[in-house]
Amino acid sequence: MMSATKVAQAELAGGSRRKRLTFAFATRTGIYSLLVLAVALGAGAYNLRIYGIFSCSASGYGQNSYLGYCGATGYGDYDHGAIWFGLEPAAVTAARNAEVLFLGNSRTVFGFSSRATDDWFSSHSETYYLLGFSHFENYTFEGPLLERIHPKAKVYVINIDSFFEKAETGPGETVMRNSSAESKYEDKRDWQRSHKAVCGRFAFLCGHNEAIFRSRATGAWSVTGGRFRSEAVSYNDTVDPKKLADYTVAGRAYLGHLSSDPSCTILTIIPAVNTDLATARAIASALGRPFVEPRLDGLVTFDGYHLNRESAQRWSAAFLQQAEPEIQKCLHE
């Protein structure tokens, strides 16, 4: 039989072995856990960089602007929810208090996002807001939106373009119909703080997807990133009878809610490729609203859909010059 001393020594040796094995196991487990965490964090960072907000540049942020759209599958539109849910209170207040409110799709905003627009309203001591949205937005969203924000506008300028389409757009339907939309748009707003902090300081960490930033004060847009191919503006001088009939019916039902004076709702169509100028003019005539559409030579889109900065400057200046008598009459009567 083993002596008591040898038994004790064997137990001590066994205990040491067990401790070493336990320590080794714990170390391996800890390293494995750290590796799993690192992989998870790396995958999350990769997704944010490729599919999320970090795929877009932060160069368009300013003291008074926010990211309205990031061309990434995991982010996309923020503008619709920002205004609908009041997530950008300063923007909603500016839109509500504007004396001249511009409505329509993205062509509307890019067409009037110019120094010429700013200068005209500053020189006349009047306020304006470009309440247009992406995804060819129309009155099915902008009509209910105006009912929510209760604008004080005396003049409305509407880009006919796609405005009287009856089908709801994807973002419009989401914010109006989806019960979980508000929390998702809140998350998009909250991500902008990190995006601005990280990408503003370490731009090399972030991508160059198309990003659109909106001014809270005027609604004007600026675009960064993206790859575009410019095309010259052109016009379609043939009237589309179906569009004329459909838009006239929708317009008559809707426009009466905006202003008691028909002359204070000014219609236009922002130039692009194959602009439906003749149809827009016929719709305005059928609706009995003033139609202002300066037809300038040499206008160019930056992407085939929206006026580039130089063309927007020229076109918006010409528009405001032609529309000035109507605008001033409505503002000061």
The residue ranges of every structural domain in the chain are 4-51, 54-332
Instruction: State residue 127's pLDDT score.
Output: 98
Residue positions counted in the chain? 333
pLDDT score of 193 more than 90: yes
Mean pLDDT check: name the lowest of 23-27, 106-110, 119-123, 298-302: 23-27
Instruction: State residue 223's pLDDT score.
Output: 96
Q: Mean of the pLDDT values across residues 99-117?
A: 98
Listed in sequence order, the residues at least 6 apart from 331 whose beta carbon sits closer than 8 Å to its beta carbon are 99, 100, 126, 154, 155
**Tokens, residue 76:** 């996309």
Going by pLDDT thresholds of 50, 70 and 90, the confidence category of residue 15 is: low
> Any bridge partners for residue 131, and if so which?
103
- pLDDT one-digit tens code per residue, 197-256: 999 999 999 999 999 999 999 999 999 999 999 999 999 999 999 999 999 999 999 998
Average pLDDT, the chain: 90
Instruction: State residue 96's pLDDT score.
Output: 98
Listed in sequence order, the residues at least 6 apart from 298 whose beta carbon sits closer than 8 Å to its beta carbon are 232, 311
Instruction: State residue 40's pLDDT score.
Output: 32
Sign of CA pseudo-dihedral 331, 133, 272, 243: negative
Q: What is the pTM of this model?
A: 0.86
Fold of 54-332: Rossmann fold (3.40.50)
Going by pLDDT thresholds of 50, 70 and 90, the confidence category of residue 51 is: confident
- pLDDT one-digit tens code per residue, 247-293: 999 999 999 888 889 999 999 999 999 999 999 999 999 999 999 99
Across 226-264, the runs of DSSP E, i.e. the strands, are 231-232
Q: Would strands 155-159 and 100-104 be described as parallel, antiparallel, or unpaired?
A: parallel
Instruction: State residue 7's pLDDT score.
Output: 47
Distance CA 13, CA 19 (A): 10
Distance CA 281, CA 283 (A): 5
* Residue that has been written with the tokens 């020229």 in this structure: 314
pLDDT score of 173 more than 70: yes
Distance CA 87, CA 204 (A): 29
